[in-house]
A and B are shown apart, each in its own frame.
Chain A
């Protein structure tokens, strides 16, 4: 169905309307050729028997009424092969690394099908990221979607890179994993700056990570609408590598805020009734169609784990972008401005952070028998210390009881010794938990009411208490 039309009636923002006399499929791919021979790709947003609305990925600049419109008779596909590993592609999936054309083994529609909930396997394999604030307090597991909630100018990229570099599944390190599933990273950049892009690429090249990665780059000066396809290309590739080629795939998507801005732009151009703060009412569904493409499938070796990154406008987590994301993902990691200015690396704010799949991914045989209790107790103690900080500002330390002072010290040490570790330090889960015990042992034993008594007897560090205090 390669009929060509020169029937454009309206051009508005990223949208083009054209009259048709033959039926065109919803979501179908379109090519528009401008008078100067440029070809733009787009997608059918609405199809009726006499006109279609087309969303143009590469911008509508230069398109006019005499441009010709071709309907390619199919929906957008991603060309897939294992050889994609090591390649750098544009935000629309074209090679930009000067390498050879992609010779696909197969093509798949980029609007993935939903995983049948009945066919899923519950994620419970611990991924060691080497970051204490994550491994100890907000454990990541294979098949999880765990976003990073950050703000502009914060080092979320360093954290993402650290995770990509250090992530391992401990049992595999020990060579127990006989299935030979390998680890791959898919990196989907949406509207990031050239500088940020360089940072990622340099790190990938320096550490040799590029070989096991596929990079999709849509930069800040690339067309915004293109951003709506970039994560779909990335996730289609991830699913292929995970469920066809048995890879454990880690997908990093950055910056989801730019993706959502693109959605808003299209919605506005279509004159849709907007939802909260001008974002489309269907943004929840749209984001879910991306985030839910993480997971494990019964009987499959591979897995898709997602770490989407978003910068919260105004550091406000009730803004629709973080809010809707938090409602879909399985927890979130907060990168915090205050901790960052205190020089904590990575500046993860543990209290509002959460990994919902942690409970099933930790414990005896997975991480360590004391993990859940230690993490619970540290949360509680840190929260209590945090609370007291406000009070201290008013009444001063002397006015507080000895118990309260211990909690204040704990909160400080928790930040400067546990969360603080540097972007280049890789801590094993044992190191992380032992460090936790060291900190908890500053508190009197009776205060450790969330830890099993037997575990306290085994792990409580009797003398260390003074040693740490003396250090300060």
Chain B
């Protein structure tokens, strides 16, 4: 987080009461959302309510042993993040304190309290390469220089959005810290590599555009059936253990975004550790660099303070917007937005606010939509285009999608990946239910797939959807009479649909090859199943019994396409082999 300087600290108040993460203070001169320091240990908090002389504060750290009478100081500034080089490859808590720095400062693997740390290293020097020269006119968000931050990402140093802009009078080139002045304007304003932005306000942008490029995920069911657009929004609801986190991790690994902001909001510690251990070793399929070079992690696990859980999604999206302003495509994953909503509920109930549905505060829907509104494909104010895609996991109690968080989320997002306990139980992964899920971006993304992958992309997809639909209907009959009672053509359709499910829709996230499937491979594998379908029906019409067709040796090899590195040749040979073997039957 951005740190208050001594001089910023203004007025003193006193603690009046303490109840868990909620503290009230009297005689505190503070504004709504100001950051305050609570008690002798200076625990960080945020003003969330002011009533008469009483100020209510949510505290971002444990409050054990804090007592009434202890001092409270206001910084006079709202909760902000530090923005500048050094955020990639970083792992933060919910208020942007770097967890590695905390470990070092606390000298322990356990999180102590009252320790503050800036979001980016203030002492490290970066190579600043100016993009402006003396005499240039610059306005807010204009790029004044470039810092090669990681092998994948050039960090663009921008004029802060709230600056007046002006004429450049001095430019420094070379190695500087984020606090050194790199560009000076005629107004006297000194531009540094570091800027601050309050997390609860959206960074300004010109105009939202209709997204027309997919965020290619390398996941067959997503790219193939329910694609997400760059700048789009998606929700993944599902009961525990159905695959929300694995899907989010898959997207963080393989989506073709420039920057990934991964927010672990109130979930497991080990899942964050997994990311920290895995990502540095994985290669970004687009750039070939380490995945960590494009990733910023925010980890406020379930056992960390609940107020910081409430703020962690804002910290994440503000960082995402900052990179968007540089013209990058950013993808933000929030796992899980339900924990964020519960944090709101917990704080709200301590404030004794009037509860809405299931105890959630009445402003739940508004907060959710404000958050997802910050996603989009934007025309930035500096003339670049950038996007923030948001993918939120939702954890409905009892797996029941009718609950408020799922329902309010579905009202906003345009892509719905419904996880299904039944599929997960059968180890059909990803357990995304193809009947319930949808993507409202499908039509607007088709041209991209047709231009970049295959001209009949949407046609082929429609065939897959129709076949799966038909299977769904046939299954109901099978449940009653058994498969053998069906006419032969329907039996064959069931067999084809089985390959659609097992070979195409299923994808093993833990298999080194299958984990990522480029759209060309997704298309080609589907094509192979389609040509099996065509050959098989031709044979059936020619009078070959269905058992003989489905007993053809080569067919089950369709299930092995996913794990092939050299899939082009494999698919080509397999198609020939299937055609040949079926051909031999008549």
Question: Given A26-B67, A119-B103, A328-B302, A113–B112 Cβ distance below 8 Å?
Answer: yes
B112 & A24 in contact (Cβ 8 Å cutoff): no
Tell me, rounded to whole Å, the shortest Cβ–Cβ distance linking B545 to chain A.
13
Contacts of A48 in B (CB 8 A): 16-18, 68
Choose, from B150-158, B178-186, B267-275, B449-457, the stretch at the interface. B267-275
Tell me the complex Cα distance, A119–B19, Å.
Answer: 29
Contacts of A318 in B (CB 8 A): 397-400
Tell me the complex Cα distance, A274–B359, Å.
Answer: 7
Partner of A25, one of B67, B102, B339: B67
A122 & B397 in contact (Cβ 8 Å cutoff): no
Contacts of A272 in B (CB 8 A): 349
Interface size on B, residues (CB 8 A): 75
B109 & A284 in contact (Cβ 8 Å cutoff): no
A281 & B303 in contact (Cβ 8 Å cutoff): no
Contacts of B427 in A (CB 8 A): 376, 379-380, 383
Q: Can you list, as one digit per residue, whether each of A355-395 has a CB less than 8 Å from chain B (1) or not (0)? A: 01101100000000000100010011001100000110011
Asked if A323 is an interface residue, CB under 8 A from chain B, the answer is yes
Tell me the complex Cα distance, A135–B477, Å.
Answer: 38
Tell me the complex Cα distance, A302–B249, Å.
Answer: 28
B66 & A25 in contact (Cβ 8 Å cutoff): yes
Please provide the chain A residues from 422 to 472 with a CB less than 8 Å away from any CB of chain B in the complex.
446, 449
B358 & A295 in contact (Cβ 8 Å cutoff): no
Contacts of B420 in A (CB 8 A): none
Tell me, rounded to whole Å, the shortest Cβ–Cβ distance linking B543 to chain A.
21
Partner of B241, one of A284, A326, A449: A326
Closest A residue by C-beta to B555: A446
Contacts of B111 in A (CB 8 A): 113-116
A320 & B65 in contact (Cβ 8 Å cutoff): no
Choose, from A167-175, A285-293, A339-347, the stretch at the interface. A285-293
Choose, from B29-37, B79-87, B481-489, B524-532, the stretch at the interface. B481-489
B426 & A380 in contact (Cβ 8 Å cutoff): yes
A395 & B482 in contact (Cβ 8 Å cutoff): yes
Contacts of B67 in A (CB 8 A): 23-26, 28, 47
Tell me, rounded to whole Å, the shortest Cβ–Cβ distance linking A366 to chain B.
14
Asked if B542 is an interface residue, CB under 8 A from chain A, the answer is no
Contacts of B402 in A (CB 8 A): none
Closest A residue by C-beta to B269: A117
Tell me, rounded to whole Å, the shortest Cβ–Cβ distance linking A55 to chain B.
12
Most buried by B among A282, A327, A372: A327
Tell me the complex Cα distance, A359–B509, Å.
Answer: 10
Asked if B194 is an interface residue, CB under 8 A from chain A, the answer is no
A401 & B301 in contact (Cβ 8 Å cutoff): no
Contacts of B481 in A (CB 8 A): 395, 399
Asked if A120 is an interface residue, CB under 8 A from chain B, the answer is yes
Contacts of B15 in A (CB 8 A): 23, 49
Tell me the complex Cα distance, A381–B272, Å.
Answer: 33
Tell me the complex Cα distance, A323–B426, Å.
Answer: 19
Q: Can you list, as one digit per residue, whether each of B203-228 has a CB less than 8 Å from chain A (1) or not (0)? A: 00000000000000000000000000
Contacts of B358 in A (CB 8 A): 275-276
Asked if A223 is an interface residue, CB under 8 A from chain B, the answer is no
Asked if A220 is an interface residue, CB under 8 A from chain B, the answer is no
Contacts of B349 in A (CB 8 A): 272-273, 281
B109 & A75 in contact (Cβ 8 Å cutoff): no
Please provide the chain A residues from 280 to 314 with a CB less than 8 Å away from any CB of chain B in the complex.
281-282, 284-285, 288-289, 292-293, 295, 297-300
Q: Can you list, as one digit per residue, whether each of A316-358 has a CB less than 8 Å from chain B (1) or not (0)? A: 0011100110111011100000000000000000011010110
A26 & B480 in contact (Cβ 8 Å cutoff): no
Closest B residue by C-beta to A324: B397
Contacts of B301 in A (CB 8 A): 114, 117, 288, 292
Measured as residues with beta carbon below 8 angstroms from the partner, the interface class of chain A is: 35 or more
A49 & B99 in contact (Cβ 8 Å cutoff): no
Asked if B425 is an interface residue, CB under 8 A from chain A, the answer is yes
Question: Given A117-B299, A284-B339, A383-B427, A331–B273 Cβ distance below 8 Å?
Answer: no
Asked if A201 is an interface residue, CB under 8 A from chain B, the answer is no
Most buried by B among A27, A28, A401: A27
Contacts of B521 in A (CB 8 A): none
- What does DSSP make chain A's interface, helix, strand, loop or mixed? mixed
Partner of B273, one of A46, A120, A395, A400: A120
Asked if B253 is an interface residue, CB under 8 A from chain A, the answer is no
Tell me, rounded to whole Å, the shortest Cβ–Cβ distance linking B348 to chain A.
9
Question: Given A23-B70, A26-B65, A323-B240, A449–B556 Cβ distance below 8 Å?
Answer: yes
Contacts of A243 in B (CB 8 A): 109
Most buried by A among B274, B303, B398, B427: B303
Q: Can you list, as one digit per residue, whether each of B543-563 has a CB less than 8 Å from chain A (1) or not (0)? A: 000000000010010011000
Tell me, rounded to whole Å, the shortest Cβ–Cβ distance linking B223 to chain A.
23
Contacts of A383 in B (CB 8 A): 425-427
Please provide the chain B residues from 336 to 379 with a CB less than 8 Å away from any CB of chain A in the complex.
339, 342, 345-346, 349, 355, 358-359
Question: Given A112-B110, A332-B241, A122–B68 Cβ distance below 8 Å?
Answer: no
Tell me the complex Cα distance, A384–B425, Å.
Answer: 11
B240 & A118 in contact (Cβ 8 Å cutoff): no
Partner of B17, one of A49, A328, A390: A49
Asked if A94 is an interface residue, CB under 8 A from chain B, the answer is no
Tell me, rounded to whole Å, the shortest Cβ–Cβ distance linking A140 to chain B.
14
Tell me the complex Cα distance, A346–B148, Å.
Answer: 59
A109 & B64 in contact (Cβ 8 Å cutoff): yes
Tell me the complex Cα distance, A289–B20, Å.
Answer: 14
Asked if B63 is an interface residue, CB under 8 A from chain A, the answer is yes
Tell me the complex Cα distance, A351–B423, Å.
Answer: 11
Tell me the complex Cα distance, A395–B479, Å.
Answer: 9
Asked if A95 is an interface residue, CB under 8 A from chain B, the answer is no
A323 & B398 in contact (Cβ 8 Å cutoff): yes
B99 & A118 in contact (Cβ 8 Å cutoff): yes
Asked if A192 is an interface residue, CB under 8 A from chain B, the answer is no
A114 & B303 in contact (Cβ 8 Å cutoff): yes
Asked if B583 is an interface residue, CB under 8 A from chain A, the answer is no
Tell me the complex Cα distance, A151–B238, Å.
Answer: 24
Contacts of A25 in B (CB 8 A): 18, 64-67
Asked if B412 is an interface residue, CB under 8 A from chain A, the answer is no
B63 & A292 in contact (Cβ 8 Å cutoff): no
Question: Given A113-B112, A376-B427, A46–B270 Cβ distance below 8 Å?
Answer: no
Tell me the complex Cα distance, A446–B510, Å.
Answer: 23
Asked if A74 is an interface residue, CB under 8 A from chain B, the answer is yes
Contacts of B389 in A (CB 8 A): none
Contacts of A327 in B (CB 8 A): 240, 395
Tell me, rounded to whole Å, the shortest Cβ–Cβ distance linking B546 to chain A.
11
B484 & A401 in contact (Cβ 8 Å cutoff): yes
B62 & A111 in contact (Cβ 8 Å cutoff): yes
Closest A residue by C-beta to B106: A116
Tell me, rounded to whole Å, the shortest Cβ–Cβ distance linking B39 to chain A.
10
Tell me the complex Cα distance, A324–B395, Å.
Answer: 10
Asked if B117 is an interface residue, CB under 8 A from chain A, the answer is no
Q: Sorted from nearest, which 9 A-B pairs have the closest CB atoms?
A: A318-B398, A288-B302, A119-B109, A48-B17, A118-B99, A292-B303, A326-B240, A113-B110, A26-B18
29 contacts between A and B (CB under 8 A): A23-B70, A47-B17, A113-B108, A115-B110, A115-B111, A116-B109, A117-B99, A117-B269, A117-B299, A117-B301, A118-B102, A119-B109, A119-B110, A275-B345, A275-B358, A275-B359, A281-B349, A285-B302, A285-B346, A288-B266, A289-B303, A292-B303, A330-B270, A351-B426, A354-B241, A360-B274, A399-B484, A401-B483, A449-B559
Q: A27-B64, A122-B270 provided; 20 other pairs, C-beta below 8 A?
A: A26-B20, A46-B19, A48-B68, A113-B110, A113-B111, A115-B110, A115-B269, A116-B109, A117-B91, A122-B274, A281-B342, A281-B346, A284-B342, A292-B302, A319-B398, A326-B241, A380-B427, A384-B426, A391-B482, A401-B484
Q: Which residues of A contact B (CB under 8 A)?
A: 23-28, 45-49, 74-75, 109, 111-123, 143, 243, 272-276, 281-282, 284-285, 288-289, 292-293, 295, 297-300, 318-320, 323-324, 326-328, 330-332, 351-352, 354, 356-357, 359-360, 372, 376, 379-380, 383-384, 390-391, 394-395, 399-401, 404, 446, 449
